[in-house]
Structure 1
Amino acid sequence: MVPFLMTLIIILVGVIFFQYRVQKSKSENLYYTYEKLQDIVEKQTGEKLLVFTDDAQLQKLLVAINLLLEAKQRTQADYLKVEISMRKMLANVSHDLKTPLTVVLGYMEILHTDHTLSEEERRALLTKVQTKTNEVIELIHKFFDLAKLESGDKEIELTRINMNEMCMQNILAFYDLLIAKGFSVHIEIPENQYYALGNVEVLSRVLNNLISNAITYGDDGKTLGITLRSDEKYIYIDIWDKGKGISESHIDKVFERMYTLEDSRNRLYQGSGLGLTITKRLVEALDGEIHLFSRPYEKTIFTIMLKRIQF
């Protein structure tokens, strides 16, 4: 009987010791998890929690915590990206507003102080003042448009649109200008009627922006085209040119706020850097997508993708 009791006591002691070790290990893992998590949060590092354990419940907790850390890090990265973008935008806004306003003030000073100006010279200066003032007003309108689009305040009603008519009307609006500039114009619009979900006013603005952009930056190639195509689910509109294009390093950035190519700040290619950003937001407001492909002096294509309506 005594040997049996001794054996039982030893087994119980072993079980208690094992449970103690398991509990201690769990406590150590939880304490390490707490300390590591606090360190990650305080130092804002991109680390993940890594704990070697056989505890299934603790493993699930670690997975959940790591998912939360990843979400937090993505949010922080997005915030930093937006903050950098906003700083850049404010700097460029200051530049883009200051430059024409400084010119306007210069012209006004000449008009006020130079009494030797002829009537013709005064009219010429006033015309320049009006031109620069309109540039400022247009830029301010772009800022307001972008702000409304990104805040969701701009309501856009989606209806059925005949894409054949939409594409033809918009390219024809530029046809005389294109011919005058010596462009070769290629229009590929099928006889079959295609319909998409969109908004006439918004889509017209998108197409006008892209065609204007192609005229400005594709001038070297003297070729511009519009292609309408489709598959079972989507309608695609390609606006393309054969100009200097956009290098691969710039393609992912052209839709960012205030992003401009290096030469877009000179007199020939002057721009606010908001045109393509607004275009992208407008396409997204139509529940569509816009993509860019470019091989300099071969082909640069902006593709709009909208949901097709079948009839």
Structure 2
Amino acid sequence: MMRFFLEIILSIVVVWQYTTIRNYQLEIEQLSGELNFLLDNQRGLLLLRTNSKTIQKLILSINDYLQMLYQKKADFQKMKTELHEMMINLSHDLKTPLTTLSGYVQLLHIRYNEDHNNYQSIDAILEKLQTKIAQTNRMITQFLDIAKIESGDIEIEFLQIDIGRLCKELVMEYYDILEINGFEVELHIETKPILINSDKNAVTCILHNLIDNALKYGIDGKYFGLTARETKQYIMIEVEDHGQGITEDEQAHIFERNYRGKAAKQQTNNGSGLGLAICHKLSKELHAELRVNSLPKIKTVFSLLLEKS
């Protein structure tokens, strides 16, 4: 009698195990089919009613993976589109100065043949050639910089630097341009050393771009200001101009790659649309923050906040 009951219990256990395993197989097959469908269509999440805690955990893990996969694909498509636009813009931007360079070379040849002793005319053309070459070289450098940052090839080395001294050295590089164009210059840099661990090349690149923009788009205001000061949490560098400025709706986009504001589009020799994008990406590499505050035709201030820690 006992043996009979044991056989019945064993049979029930076997049937229960078979049913459980079969349900697992059916649910997994259903999961597999829905997952293949989602992967083919690249959208949606797994939805399956099940009483199995294990299957529920598996579905949650798969959905987390799917969300990450969709985000990676969206990021890739965005980067692909931006790269395509950047290549189009770069080819256009390079074509214009290269065509101009070719024209200047031809004009130089003509002037030299007409009167090779006319040094004043020849010097004027050579000066324009030099300016265009510098502009073209800067575009190529910016393109290479953004490519390095995007690929992760840029090397950031955190060493102690004196921000105050660096700012003074950079302003001196622009002394002739500021004087020739009649800029009013105000510097507010603390006399004591402003020391921080950061990457000197990256900070220099950011400030070069910010100063270039201040002089280019602030030419109407004839004002250039640079402040370097220390707070409890940050080393703050501010570059200020009183030019055309940036409207509120543009301020949300100016750090995007290839974006050109209204002021940039009005410039005859506008840039590549990469300068501020490079600044923004480099500031992230430095664990810093880049801000802008602008009142058009009154004051525009770009602030670089370097964390002291």
TM-score range, shorter chain: 0.7 to 0.9
**Residues 221-265 of structure 1 deviation map (CA, whole Å, 9 limit, x = unaligned):** 444332334444432222233433323443343333333224424
Q: Compared with structure 1, are the counterparts of its residues 56 and 160 closer, same or farther at alpha carbon in structure 2 (3 Å cutoff)?
A: same
Q: Which residue of 1 aligns with 2:46?
A: 49
| Separation of aligned partners in 2, 1:131 and 1:190 | 34
Q: Does 1:101 align with 2:98?
A: yes
TM-score (norm 1): 0.78
1:83 aligns with 2:89: no
Alignment TM-score, normalising by the size of structure 2 = 0.79
The 1:76–1:294 alpha-carbon spacing in structure 2 relative to 1, beyond 3 Å, is farther
Kindly state the Cα deviation for residue 270 of structure 1 after the two structures are TM-superposed.
1.6
Alignment partner, residue 31 of structure 1: 29
Residue in structure 1 matching 2:56, options 48, 56, 59: 59
Deviation larger for 139-148 or 35-44: 139-148
Aligned length: 303
Distance 1:170 1:111 in 2: 34
**2:301 counterpart residue number:** 301
Unaligned runs of 5+ in 2: none
The gaps in structure 1 that reach 5 residues or longer are none
Instruction: Say whether residues 1:71 and 2:68 are aligned partners.
Output: yes
Question: Structure 2 matches for 1:225-244, cutoff 5 A?
Answer: 225-244=225-244
* Aligned-pair CA distance for 1:269: 5.1
Percent pairwise identity? 35
Q: Alignment partner of 1:50: what SS? A: coil
1:14–1:298 Cα change, 3 Å: farther
**SS at structure 1 position matched to 2:224:** strand
Q: Distance in 2 between matches of 1:58 and 1:131?
A: 67
CA contact (8 A) 1:197 1:306 kept: no
CA contact (8 A) 2:185 2:224 kept: yes
- Name the stretch that deviates more: 51-60 or 276-285: 276-285
Question: Partner of 1:146 in structure 2?
Answer: 146
In angstroms, what is the RMSD of aligned CA positions?
3.6
Task: Report the counterpart of residue 212 of structure 1 in structure 2.
Answer: 212
Verify the 8 A CA contact 1:49 1:66 in the aligned structure 2: yes
